[in-house]
């Protein structure tokens, strides 16, 4: 077994600058509970040692999380090493595996590993009921990230690189260089593992580290500091711009009852393209994540007059170019559901709503809103009631009209946007549509003076129960 020294071996004089920075990050009265992401490499191992010293009287507030990506054949050695470190230093250790077969063709190996890693870390955080995830990213990582973002034609937000604090994720070593960290590691022979995948030049970050930044540092040893400082300056520019963007959002954005975000098209059209992009980034929490092709796609839909176009973001939201507004919503796939058979007197869930059909003794009732209707029960006697999504070619006779109308025409005439159309439901009695749900019943099924039995049909949003 590898010799593992205790954290107390590190002379306090080497810890002062780190502790001063940690205090600025964790300025809480109560010591936070932190989950340290430990790969086994030198950066995360030193972070563990520093935190064990910083939280000397609250060591139980620290836990280790290790993610085995299963990319390398020797990855189990790293996991075993991290568990040994945790056991020797008396820190509870969690580990979980990623399945490389889950990676899709559109995901690069780096992005798949990063997204999977943070997803698991966030799950650990909830399970442990801890406050923060901390990672070992340092100043050199920041310089690599900024150069990588430039190579991917990132916008302004990508030029600031990694955030020191990003919600529940904190990167306490970001102001410190790799050289500073390795000084302590080497001085006290603190063991760590070497990830052989870090030598693979086909991975962009590795190429930047070894072929771009490495030789550059040899010629100009302050380049890492310079790039880091540039990132801080870009962050200040961003803060200034965001002040004005958030003011625009405050005055020109509407949040509707469907959790859709509506942006006034006329107002948005009065600001520069970059500002338009920033509005979308803020509203979709995608700051720093967009690349050149994302910018082009978004601007194309924002500056296009064609109503009905939808931009589907890779970050889980859809942007619709509607008549008077641009509308943003979370991406939802409404697949072609099979028709659902309904029984009178029973509740039934379909898409976003819960439906209830029941007999009513009141004949003179009028509709109390778009989601509650009344029909003549005798007209559906012995008929099979079904719910399904509307289809092209569907027709009905809207209440108050003498002739039939296509559902598609009704939706267009009533200015129903594409998002709502995609989840529009109809109620059928056998093969006849008796209710365009949330809009209007069919004229042929309305109650009349001769009606003896009334059926009330209603639906409620599922989250309203």
pLDDT digits (tens, 9 = 90+) for 198-236: 888 988 999 999 999 999 999 999 999 999 999 999 999
Tokens 């990855």 correspond to what residue? 75
CATH of domain 7-136+172-219: 3.40.50.620
Neighbours of 346 (CB within 10 A): 10
Q: What is the pLDDT of residue 259?
A: 81
405 contact partners, CB below 8 Å, separation of at least 6: 395, 396, 397, 398
Q: What is the pLDDT of residue 465?
A: 34
Instruction: Calculate the CA dihedral of residues 138, 286, 134, 12 and round it to 10 degrees.
Output: 40
Instruction: Give first-to-last CA distance, the chain, whole Å.
Output: 58
Is 36 a residue whose pLDDT tops 60? yes
Q: Mean pLDDT over residues 70-85, rounded?
A: 92
How does pLDDT run across 6-30, given as a tens digit for each residue?
999 999 999 999 999 999 998 777 8
254-330: CATH topology is 3.30.465
CA distance 71 to 113: 9
- Tokens, residue 325: 């507004």
Quick one: what percent of the chain has pLDDT higher than 90?
64
Is 193 a residue whose pLDDT tops 60? yes
Q: State pTM to two decimals.
A: 0.72
CA distance 390 to 423: 8
Is 367 a residue whose pLDDT tops 70? no
Is 368 a residue whose pLDDT tops 70? no
How does pLDDT run across 105-132, given as a tens digit for each residue?
878 888 899 999 999 999 999 999 999 9
Question: Taking CA 48 as the corner, what is the angle to CA 44 and CA 51, rounded to the nearest 5 degrees?
Answer: 130
Is 387 a residue whose pLDDT tops 80? yes
How does pLDDT run across 395-450, given as a tens digit for each residue?
999 998 989 999 999 999 998 888 888 889 999 999 899 999 999 999 999 988 88
Collapse the DSSP code of 243 into the 3-class scheme (helix H, G, I; strand E, B; otherwise coil) and give the result: helix
β pairing state of 261-264 and 310-312 = unpaired
Highest mean predicted confidence (pLDDT) among 135-139, 195-199, 340-344: 135-139
The reply to whether 254-330 and 340-464 are identical in fold is no
Position with higher pLDDT, 329 vs 46 = 46
Position with higher pLDDT, 350 vs 64 = 64
Is 464 a residue whose pLDDT tops 60? no
Is 88 a residue whose pLDDT tops 60? yes
Domain spans, the chain: 7-136+172-219, 254-330, 340-464
- Tokens, residue 347: 């509740």
The sign one gets for the Cα dihedral 156, 161, 165, 167 is positive
256 contact partners, CB below 8 Å, separation of at least 6: 262
In contact, 348 and 421? CB cutoff 8 Å = no
Q: What is the pLDDT of residue 336?
A: 59
Collapse the DSSP code of 281 into the 3-class scheme (helix H, G, I; strand E, B; otherwise coil) and give the result: helix
- Tokens, residue 414: 């009533």
- Tokens, residue 389: 């999504």
Q: What is the pLDDT of residue 366?
A: 57
Is 454 a residue whose pLDDT tops 50? yes
Tokens 């170019």 correspond to what residue? 321
Q: Mean pLDDT over residues 281-304, rounded?
A: 88
Tokens 């039995």 correspond to what residue? 453
Is 365 a residue whose pLDDT tops 60? no
Collapse the DSSP code of 458 into the 3-class scheme (helix H, G, I; strand E, B; otherwise coil) and give the result: strand
- Tokens, residue 238: 């961003």
CA distance 90 to 102: 34
Please classify residue 45 by burial: count the beta carbons closer than 10 Å to its beta carbon, then call 0-12 exposed, 13-18 middle and 19+ buried: buried
- Tokens, residue 310: 């939808």
Q: What is the pLDDT of residue 190?
A: 97
CATH 3.50.40.10 for domain 340-464: yes
CA distance 91 to 69: 22
Label residue 73 by pLDDT band (50, 70, 90): confident
How does pLDDT run across 307-356, given as a tens digit for each residue?
889 998 988 899 999 989 999 998 876 555 667 888 888 888 888 889 99
Label residue 305 by pLDDT band (50, 70, 90): confident
The alpha carbons of the chain give a radius of gyration, in whole angstroms, of 30
């Amino acid at each position: 077994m590898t010799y593992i020294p205790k954290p107390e071996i590190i002379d306090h004089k080497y810890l002062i600058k780190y502790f001063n920075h940690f205090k600025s990050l964790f300025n809480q009265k109560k010591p936070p509970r932190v989950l340290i992401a430990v790969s086994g490499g030198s950066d995360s191992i030193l972070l563990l040692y520093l935190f064990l010293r910083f939280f000397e009287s609250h060591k139980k507030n620290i836990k280790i999380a290790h993610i085995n990506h299963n990319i390398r054949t020797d990855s189990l050695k790293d996991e075993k090493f991290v568990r040994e470190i945790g056991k020797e230093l008396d820190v509870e250790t969690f580990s979980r595996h990623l399945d490389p077969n889950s990676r899709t063709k559109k995901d690069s190996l780096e992005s798949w590993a990063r997204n999977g890693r943070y997803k698991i870390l966030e799950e650990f955080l909830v399970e442990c009921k801890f406050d923060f995830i901390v990672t070992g990213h340092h100043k050199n990582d920041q310089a690599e990230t900024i150069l990588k973002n430039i190579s991917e034609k990132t916008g302004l937000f990508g030029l600031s690189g990694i955030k020191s604090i990003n919600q529940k994720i904190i990167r306490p070593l970001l102001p410190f260089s790799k050289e500073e960290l390795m000084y302590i590691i080497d001085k006290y022979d603190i063991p760590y593992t070497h990830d052989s995948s870090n030598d693979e030049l086909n991975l962009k970050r590795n190429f930047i580290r070894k072929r771009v930044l490495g030789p550059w540092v040899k010629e100009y040893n302050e380049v890492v500091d310079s790039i880091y400082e540039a990132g801080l300056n870009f962050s200040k520019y961003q803060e200034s711009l965001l002040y004005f963007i958030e003011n625009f959002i405050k005055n020109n954005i509407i949040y509707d009852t469907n959790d859709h975000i509506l942006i006034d098209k006329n107002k948005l059209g009065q600001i520069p393209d970059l500002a338009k992009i920033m509005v979308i980034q803020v509203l979709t929490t995608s700051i720093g994540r967009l690349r050149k092709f994302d910018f082009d796609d978004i601007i194309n839909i924002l500056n296009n007059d064609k109503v009905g176009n939808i931009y589907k973001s890779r970050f889980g939201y859809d942007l619709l170019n509607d008549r008077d507004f641009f509308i943003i919503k979370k991406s939802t796939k409404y697949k072609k559901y099979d028709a659902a058979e309904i029984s009178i007197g029973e509740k039934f869930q379909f898409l976003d709503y819960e439906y209830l059909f029941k007999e009513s003794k009141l004949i003179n009732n009028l509709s109390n809103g778009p989601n509650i209707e009344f029909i003549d029960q005798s007209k559906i006697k012995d008929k099979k009631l079904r719910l399904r999504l509307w289809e092209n070619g569907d027709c009905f006779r809207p209440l108050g009209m003498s002739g039939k109308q296509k559902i598609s025409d009704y939706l267009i005439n009533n200015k129903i946007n594409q998002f709502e159309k995609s989840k529009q439901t109809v109620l059928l009695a056998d093969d006849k549509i008796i209710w365009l749900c949330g809009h209007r019943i069919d004229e042929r099924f309305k109650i009349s003076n001769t009606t003896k039995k009334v059926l009330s049909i209603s639906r409620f949003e599922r989250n309203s129960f």
